Amino acid sequence: MYYSWHRYKTDCQFTKIILSLLLMIDGVKIRCVGTNSRDWENNPLLSFSTKVDEQTGEIKSDTKIAFYRGLYFFLIPSTIKDEVHCILRGSLPKYFNHGRDNAFDFTFQMLRESIFDIKNRFSIDPNTAIVQHFEYGVNIHTEKAPQTIIRGLRAFQSNCFTSLKVDEFFNGRQLNKQEYQYKVYDKGLQLRKKGKNFLRVELAVKSQKKAKRYGISVLADLCKMSNLEKIKPDLLKVWEEMIFYDSGMKWRLMNKKQKEKMLYYLDATNWEKFTRKQRFRAKNIFVQLRKEFCSSTTQEDLLQQLIIKLEELTAAKGNALRKLPEENETRKKERFTRLDKPVKRGQNQTQNSPEKKKGKSVKMKKPKCKTCGTDISHKRAGSIYCGKFCNNVQHAKNRKNRRHRRKAIELKNLNYLLKSIEDSEHKFKIFFIRHNKTYFSLYHQHNICLIKEDIQVVKRMEVYSDGDLTTLTSYRARRLLKVISQLNYKTQRKAS
């Protein structure tokens, strides 16, 4: 359907040296196995509270809750054994940022520092702490308003997108599955920053069974990049295959049946009623209609941004060039061997070669759209148009130029045939269109006596003369037939 993740992995090459290794892990829920509840209760950084009836002073719940730098600490008594479960829940980037916000790129070094800090301060062992829930996603900057994009989310497979409430604001939509949630929301609205077009695309894994498929069981597994690589295809698959429409539909070019089908498919509730076979057929029809009549490329453009962002955030970190020790530097400076030592064959040949002159650095030009000239550096390599509209405009110009060139050639051939028509004898293959069907007939030049109604339905004509083939179309073919028919009528009258 669209430019897939696996194709992108094979076609695109990134630089080997990246300044920082970035991760997209945000919210987590961890059951801290091996942690004693007394260590948390006696920790001076944590102040636990519980639900108490203000009038009677009765304790309503045995669960104790503490909050510190964006993390919630729960002490929940077990209903089966005589023990207390220690649950940690919250945002690791927010904890690293001292509880302010998580609107930044969370690096690998930051993650390690956060886990190491949590381990030392709250007695949590990353190798035994079980990950019950985690969130994986990216923030991307969009040209369109995020709310416009969010309104375009319709359905994925047999589920439709529902409203999402983040921090007491309905600022996005989500897809609820049994093992995960797919969330798309306005990050700028969550941070209450007007004019910031930040869109958050997130995959929240809420099943330990699904987390184990990615190789994530304990807190230490989140630091392995190979595990995060397994999540990328699932994050991109939903965006690539979902039913999406924001604008750009050319309704005037569609017939009544096409309009009714498109409006029916844009109703997200209808996708829940389809069987698997019906959904497959409906998806193909929807994609075909959207490709033929919709000029919007929002879904494809954002998919490319997601792919590029994910690849940048999980690219391998390059090591900086290390400075050589002084002994190695002195050895490197000794280009030539000493005179008292024998010289081996081929030694110092590279050092004696003349140095190449350094040329001037050439600045790479930013790629621009072939039609309108706008900057398209944000698109994938090899792109020449900013969108489908400019693509169609350029191809329309190309078709027009081909028609003009073909017309000029046919006019030249027509003038030649008209000059020599009386002294020659050609064979003709004439194509007629009647009732939306094409027919052809073979004629000799002296047998052509067509009436006006027959000439008007001629679409194309092939003229065979001395082994050469000349093709005439449109009014040029009809003009030649009219001249030949008039000459043959005059000849018949003289003979009679």
Q: How many CB atoms lie within 10 A of CB 408?
A: 9
Alpha-carbon distance 87 to 63, whole Å?
A: 11
Per-residue confidence (pLDDT) for residue 358, from 0 to 100: 52
Phi, psi of 10 (to 5 degrees): -90, -30
Per-residue confidence (pLDDT) for residue 495, from 0 to 100: 80
CA 21 to chain CA centroid, Å, is 22
Per-residue confidence (pLDDT) for residue 414, from 0 to 100: 87
Higher pLDDT, 338 or 42: 42
Residue-wise over 325-353: b if at least 16 C-beta within 10 A, else e? eeeeeeeeeeeeeeeeeeeeeeeeeeeee
pLDDT at 66 > cutoff 90: yes
Per-residue confidence (pLDDT) for residue 359, from 0 to 100: 52
pLDDT at 439 > cutoff 50: yes
pLDDT at 5 > cutoff 50: no
Alpha-carbon distance 386 to 405, whole Å?
A: 28
Hey, is 56 helix, strand or coil?
Answer: coil
pLDDT at 109 > cutoff 70: yes
In one letter, which amino acid is 477?
A: A
Lowest mean pLDDT among 265-274, 391-400, 413-422: 413-422
pLDDT at 31 > cutoff 90: yes
- Find the mean pLDDT for residues 135-139: 85
Alpha-carbon distance 303 to 18, whole Å?
A: 22
Confidence (pTM): 0.56
Name the pLDDT band for 193 (thresholds 50, 70, 90): low
What are the percentages of helix, strand and coil residues in the chain, rounded to 5?
A: 40, 25, 35
Per-residue confidence (pLDDT) for residue 348, from 0 to 100: 46
Q: How many CB atoms lie within 10 A of CB 96?
A: 20
- Find the mean pLDDT for residues 362-391: 82
DSSP letter (8 states) at residue 268: G
Residue where the block lists tokens 């309704």: 251
Per-residue confidence (pLDDT) for residue 288, from 0 to 100: 92
Q: What is the DSSP pairing of strand 198-205 with strand 243-244?
A: unpaired
In one letter, which amino acid is 367?
A: P
pLDDT at 12 > cutoff 70: no
Alpha-carbon distance 234 to 240, whole Å?
A: 10
Per-residue confidence (pLDDT) for residue 72, from 0 to 100: 93
Alpha-carbon distance 67 to 110, whole Å?
A: 21
Alpha-carbon distance 439 to 430, whole Å?
A: 8
* Residues 243 and 155 sit within 8 Å (Cβ to Cβ): yes
Q: What is the pLDDT of residues 314-361, one digit of tens each?
A: 554 443 333 434 434 444 444 444 444 444 444 444 444 444 455 555
Per-residue confidence (pLDDT) for residue 327, from 0 to 100: 39
Hey, is 31 helix, strand or coil?
Answer: strand
Per-residue confidence (pLDDT) for residue 428, from 0 to 100: 87
Name the nearest CA neighbour of 72 among 25, 28, 121.
28
In one letter, which amino acid is 456?
A: Q
- Find the mean pLDDT for residues 402-411: 90
- Find the mean pLDDT for residues 413-442: 85
Per-residue confidence (pLDDT) for residue 223, from 0 to 100: 81
* Residues 216 and 227 sit within 8 Å (Cβ to Cβ): yes
| 59: exposed, middle or buried (Cβ count in 10 Å: 0-12, 13-18, 19+) | exposed
Name the pLDDT band for 6 (thresholds 50, 70, 90): very low
- Find the mean pLDDT for residues 164-184: 86
pLDDT at 144 > cutoff 90: no
Long-range contacts of 229-233 (CB under 8 A, 24+ apart): 229/314, 231/136, 231/203, 231/205, 232/5, 232/310, 232/314, 233/5, 233/6
| 7: exposed, middle or buried (Cβ count in 10 Å: 0-12, 13-18, 19+) | exposed
Alpha-carbon distance 106 to 22, whole Å?
A: 6
| 436: exposed, middle or buried (Cβ count in 10 Å: 0-12, 13-18, 19+) | exposed
Hey, is 137 helix, strand or coil?
Answer: strand
Per-residue confidence (pLDDT) for residue 242, from 0 to 100: 92
Hey, is 314 helix, strand or coil?
Answer: coil
- Find the mean pLDDT for residues 240-269: 91
Name the pLDDT band for 154 (thresholds 50, 70, 90): very high
* Residues 376 and 369 sit within 8 Å (Cβ to Cβ): yes
Return the structure tokens found at 323. 């400075």
Residue where the block lists tokens 């919709």: 294
β-partners of residue 84 are 77
Q: What is the mean pLDDT of the chain?
A: 80
Lowest mean pLDDT among 97-111, 121-135, 216-230, 241-255: 97-111
Per-residue confidence (pLDDT) for residue 255, from 0 to 100: 92
Higher pLDDT, 100 or 19: 100
**Cα four-point dihedral sign 110, 164, 188, 203:** positive
Name the pLDDT band for 9 (thresholds 50, 70, 90): very low
DSSP letter (8 states) at residue 258: H
pLDDT at 164 > cutoff 60: yes
Alpha-carbon distance 271 to 264, whole Å?
A: 10
* Residues 481 and 461 sit within 8 Å (Cβ to Cβ): yes
